[in-house]
Structure 1
Amino acid sequence: MGNRRGDEGVGQRPVDEGGRLRQHGAEPEIRTAFAPAPGRRRHSGDSLGNRGGSGPYPRAPRRCSCLAARGEPVITKEQIAHFETFGFLVLRQAFSPEEIERILSRYEHIRLGQTPLIEEAADGKTVTRAYEYVVETDPELAKLAEDDRIYETIEQLLGRGFIWTGSEWISGRSQAPWHADRQDRTDLYYTTIKVHLYLDLTKKETCALRVIPGSHRSPFHETLMPLLHEENVRPYGMDGPSIPCYAFESKPGDVIFFNQFLLHSVFGSLENERRYVALKFGARIRNEDDIAALMRYKPDGRILKPHEAFVTSKSARIKGMVEAFVEAR
């Protein structure tokens, strides 16, 4: 079952014979959450984030809002098709090393400001710390929610009127068996997207995020239900780490957008912590069924109550994401 975007069409940027985007004059000043490194060049790659720009899916450059006024999309029509078909999209090196350092500098502020949700190993040692509302409550991190590289990509994937559904900062070494953030298959029609901005290097065998392409779609999603949350289950004659998948091997600054019905996991061991900031979004709410779908995702009801810091934000983009939610209720 396909993903539902808004009614607006998405234009396709001109491409040359090799499938690469043609340039439109001089590169404009970039509107980003943090100032980019001077002289930083655009990067290109395919929709799996492979560098080099020779593939059929050129990666969107960082860009300013003036391009939106000219009707030019952040990501290509092919990248949108990739997301809808496979359930995820990778943007390599979307954030510069300098930007990542500034994001990491906020950790101490976050750590002192709230008590994390803690996952412990059998020996009692902490393996994961999860800090909620980090983007909403930190003025610097809040800029990520309206950054072109995230906001406008989400707008192309979900359509206008999309909503904000939360954020978190994850730090730890834990593994995670195959699971989907959302599991009620009756809600497959309603799309929510999670964005991971990675702050550390990961490889397949050292806690890289693994996804099963296309597992957000029916009937494939239902077929894979025997895998969910079972660490030692072998319904297909192999253990969890052996399941065919795409491993998102990340470097600091890489970003992955994925449908929250997509099955994903983390396996292997990591000497240092794996850290990432997660931002979450939902499609425009059109009726009570959509609200019910969100409630099944977060039964405690908090998802229906945007954080006060975003409700009172002076950012037009942030207020738009929150007001669309409040009005729908």
Structure 2
Amino acid sequence: MSRDQYTLTDPAKLYADIEPEKQKMSEPGLDAELNDKADLGEETYRGTGRLTGRKALITGADSGIGAATAIAFAREGADVAMSYLPEEKEDADRIAGILTEAGANVVQLPGDLRDPAYCRDLVAQSVEKLGGLDILVNNGGKQVAVEDLADVTDEQFDDTFKTNVYAMFWITKAALPHLKPGATIINTTSIQAYSPSETLVDYASTKATINNFTKGLSQQLAPKGIRVNAVAPGPIWTPLQPSGGQPQDALPTFGEQTPLGRMGQPAELAPAYVFLASAESSYVIGETLNVNGGMPTP
């Protein structure tokens, strides 16, 4: 019998055949060029109709966690608008094909999250082409490891905050007029919000901001019937890591610090997003759902 997300497995031994190696990729990185391909759930995620009729916008939907979430959403019955950088078209086209095969109405909307005009138009185009919007996943992100704060340029600091934080603000603000009771917003934060790495000072700061933004906004929108939550991944194998997200020397041991002793795969994140997007989590508001291999969090 083939494995899916419901198959009983030993989590400590899962994905034992995937071992990251040093691999220098130019930013933003592509799944198509990733050695030891990440598992996005292409062969394993089985839908059960939990998001039938829903309309979702996902940023960073071309690869990694965003792509795995898009696949899961489509197989659960949702239509999906995909946001990604134009240079990530190869990955995005592949994912769009998988979503279409699942029966989803798919809208591809490339652009740069650092651009407020694009962020606002992204929402408008999603609403128009999907016929509405009731799930927003702010997932697109920028992560570049730098060992010394003195070497973090103003441009990198600005780009990281614009991509990770400002875009979330611009997109969420533009989406609110279209969200009705029952709608959900899911933001991607990180273990870095609680346990920042010394090489990711700017990135970790954005993730702490996202976590706080999520909890504050959840209180504001709960009386309107709109739920806001976050997912906090641990060390997950995506193109973000070899394209500057981790120092090259750290890649061979990436994820070994977790109690499970390994990195996670995007396919292991997707069910968390499905849960928070579905009506099953109707009483879950302002929650940060940690998917990190057992690393303690507050």
Q: TM-score, normalised by structure 2?
A: 0.31
The structure with the greater share of residues assigned to helix is 2
Instruction: Give the greater-gyration-radius structure (CA).
Output: 1
